[in-house]
Amino acid sequence: MSRRWLTEDHRIFQDSIRRFVEKEIIPNIDQWEKDRQVPRQIWRKMGEQGFLCPCLPVEYGGSGVDFSYSVIVQEELTRSTCSGVSTGVRVHADIVAPYILHHGTEDQKRAILPGCTTGDIILALGMTEPNCGSDVAAIRTTAIKSGGDYVINGQKTFISNGLSCDWVVLAVKTDPDAKPPHKGVSLLLVPADAPGFSKGRKLQKMGMHSQDTAELIFEDCRVPQENLLGQEGQGFRILMKNLQQERLVICIGAITIAEKMLEITIDYTKGRTAFGRPISSFQYNSFKLVEMATEIELGRTFVDALIEDHLEGKDITRRVSMGKWWLTELANRVAYDCIQLHGGYGYMEEYTICRLYRDVRPQTIVGGTNEIMKRILAKMMKL
Ligand SMILES: Cc1cc2nc3c(=O)[nH]c(=O)nc-3n(C[C@H](O)[C@H](O)[C@H](O)COP(=O)(O)OP(=O)(O)OC[C@H]3O[C@@H](n4cnc5c(N)ncnc54)[C@H](O)[C@@H]3O)c2cc1C
């Protein structure tokens, strides 16, 4: 596989994050899964090594490199199989920090971004509400001007980094009567200590146990009007623009975890014997492994092309929507077949594949469900 953008510097960076993952993350996964969280200390350690938000400009504490370095971080953290770290960092660094970098004022950037590179500040994105997920324009959380503040009322749910976050980029309605409704959506920067903001339940999920997903509650929560991110009424447009990178990040996660699951399963099936032979050598199983390897390689080629287009600043909306649905379904198919090839051991907690089977499930739901991807594509194809 040739990646035109991969230089010697990328390889050195990749080696250092691989060593970090082996020493600091892999030995702790079981404990963090039991604790249902990862400690703040691991964020700080990643910050010390320059693994958090490397793409931020140097004046905000980053390394001033391009998105390709984020790709390396995402791939290595995904390969660690620790959802708490990989998803947490992905949301923080590649999904939420860009909102502040691209749409924040100088004061907002200086107040928040340097802490994001050290692990002292963790970011979350609050869009989804108990009654509204896919239809973002229908959110009901309101932010109404009062004196020099916005007063926020409403609730968010399923928020990644919800309990650990220090700042939330929050989607609100500043004009609840706007027509069409999406013109009433704005984004606010809300600190965790804002009066009237409380964190609700840590949600008990099917998988991704070490990953923090929570409810956020706003009861007459006040933030200064200077905390508006971008302009009033522009929130929906900004969300739709930034969702393209979010979907690319999901594609990268999906293909990388599919590769990892196949690697684990090839090792297992070569070592396990039945009827006096490695189970990988039975024709049905070898064909299954070959089919998975083929689909994964096709998917990888597509993802790498998307990464290149994104690095060149091209509009990836159409192809990233295709990739998001196809690659996340591929990852789920691979998980299903890998469990089957592990036999009963695949269903046992001490086998990594068991955890990964659960952890890949929400990929078809997050970042815009796969049905929403097909809706976008159907519209683009004028169907
Ligand atoms: C682990 C996890 C982490 C998450 N992290 C975050 C986060 O950090 N921040 C955040 O804001 N949200 C987050 N979410 C929420 C996620 O983005 C939503 O769950 C998702 O957008 C779907 O919304 P919903 O759950 O309300 O489903 P609904 O919108 O109720 O959809 C239910 C079903 O109906 C289908 N459907 C809806 N509309 C259509 C249509 N027009 N055509 C065809 N089918 C349709 C959907 O595809 C889905 O299958 C997270 C979710 C999970 C599971």
Q: Is 19 a residue whose pLDDT tops 60?
A: yes
Residue 350, phi then psi, degrees to nearest 5: -75, -5
Q: From ligand 1's centre to the CA of 57, what distance in Å?
A: 32
Q: What is the pLDDT of residues 257-269, one digit of tens each?
A: 999 999 999 999 9
**Confidence grade of residue 1 (pLDDT, cut at 50, 70, 90):** low
| pLDDT (mean) for 250-255 | 98
| pLDDT (mean) for 111-123 | 98
Q: What is the pLDDT of residues 279-300, one digit of tens each?
A: 999 999 999 999 999 999 999 9
Q: What is the model's pLDDT at position 4?
A: 87
Dihedral in degrees, nearest 10, Cα atoms 231, 104, 171, 91: 150
Cβ(83) to ligand 1 under 6 A?
no
Q: From ligand 1's centre to the CA of 135, what distance in Å?
A: 9
Convert 55-83 into a string of H (helix), E (strand) and C (coil). Answer: CCCHHHCCCCCCHHHHHHHHHHHHHCCCH
Instruction: Tell how strand 228-229 and strand 167-173 pair up.
Output: unpaired
Cβ(379) to ligand 1 under 6 A?
no
Give the ligand 1 atom nearest the CA of 156.
Answer: 11
Cβ(375) to ligand 1 under 6 A?
yes
Q: What is the pLDDT of residues 100-110, one digit of tens each?
A: 999 999 999 99
Q: What is the DSSP string of 323-373?
A: HHHHHHHHHHHHHHHHHHHHGGGGGSTTSHHHHHHHHTGGGGTTTS-HHHH
219/196 Cα distance (integer angstroms): 5
Give the ligand 1 atom nearest the CA of 129.
Answer: 26
Q: What is the model's pLDDT at position 351?
A: 98
Task: Please state, for a pLDDT cut of 90, what percent of the chain lies above it.
Answer: 98
Q: Which two tokens mark 29?
A: 């996964």
Cβ(237) to ligand 1 under 6 A?
no
Annotated catalytic residue, options 246, 263, 297, 371? 246
* Ligand 1 pocket test target in 122, 134, 140, 376 with most atoms within 8 Å of CB: 134
Which residue minimizes the CA distance to atom 17 of ligand 1? 366
Q: Is residue 109 a contact partner of residue 100, using CB atoms and an 8 Å limit?
A: yes
CA nearest to 321, candidates 356, 368, 366, 365: 368
Q: From ligand 1's centre to the CA of 111, what distance in Å?
A: 31
Give the ligand 1 atom nearest the CA of 211.
Answer: 1
Q: From ligand 1's centre to the CA of 365, what distance in Å?
A: 6
| pLDDT (mean) for 152-172 | 98
Q: Is the pTM of this model over 0.75?
A: yes
Q: Is there a catalytic annotation at residue 219?
A: no
